[in-house]
Chains A and B, each alone.
Chain A
């Protein structure tokens, strides 16, 4: 597993994930910079993401939707707030209606991505900060199918530990 650590901060409503990959910083930067590569990992296999707009520059906007198993669509947008290739990327991430118009009422998640060169390998740190619990819930629902399956696996693992103790 590439994940090194994950930290949840309930009070600050933030989440930080640290992962390491067997690839150079420039290569890992591409999976963020290239929307066709981004589409391959942003959404779960059951809810793949399609980026229709991708203006990769500070102040630029990206528009995307995720398509569910029944053909239902969930829209989202990003606004890039900082881009320093190939190490730093920050953006606001929000919801959009069916026409792709931002729905500010549902809140904005701020994401800060940091890529660190470990001499051929790369450490990626992603920090997400939520505005509210309601918004966190919406966020989770968009990626829920796969997430729950994994969460269920984790619960099972904890239960097995619990049973041994």
Chain B
């Protein structure tokens, strides 16, 4: 199990950070490309401050990094090697589990 390779405290932070649907959505978006905090805030029916708080939780879990650029705060998916690789392999696993499910559906048609 991949999570065994992370320290318990890290795992707790990681799971707590990912336990929220908005935070999962933020991670998904910023892994695909950078966003400003205000850009993210425009996507959800919540205040700028609430989104900023979500980003801070993700930052503590090392899932994202935040950097000042002019007046904007830019959020990106974190490039911490091992943790990221774990996550990517997890996602790749999910892709293949879905594919196997679709193959089974096609085969069931006869």
Chain A contact residues, CB within 8 Å of chain B: 1-3, 6, 8, 10, 13, 15, 17, 19, 21-23, 27-28, 31, 37, 40-42, 44, 124, 126, 128, 133, 136-137, 139-141, 143-144, 146-148, 150-152, 154-156, 158-159, 162
Contact = CB atoms under 8 A, between A and B. Distances in A.
B52 to A, nearest CB: 22
Would you call the interface of chain B mostly helix, strand, loop, or mixed?
Answer: helix
Interface residues of B, number: 36
A42 B106 CA distance: 12
Given A41-B99, A144-B28, A155-B19, 16 more contacts: A8-B86, A8-B90, A15-B93, A21-B107, A22-B107, A27-B107, A31-B103, A126-B96, A128-B92, A136-B89, A136-B92, A137-B84, A143-B95, A148-B94, A155-B15, A156-B19
Interface of B: 2, 5, 15, 18-19, 21, 24, 28, 31-32, 81-82, 84-86, 88-108
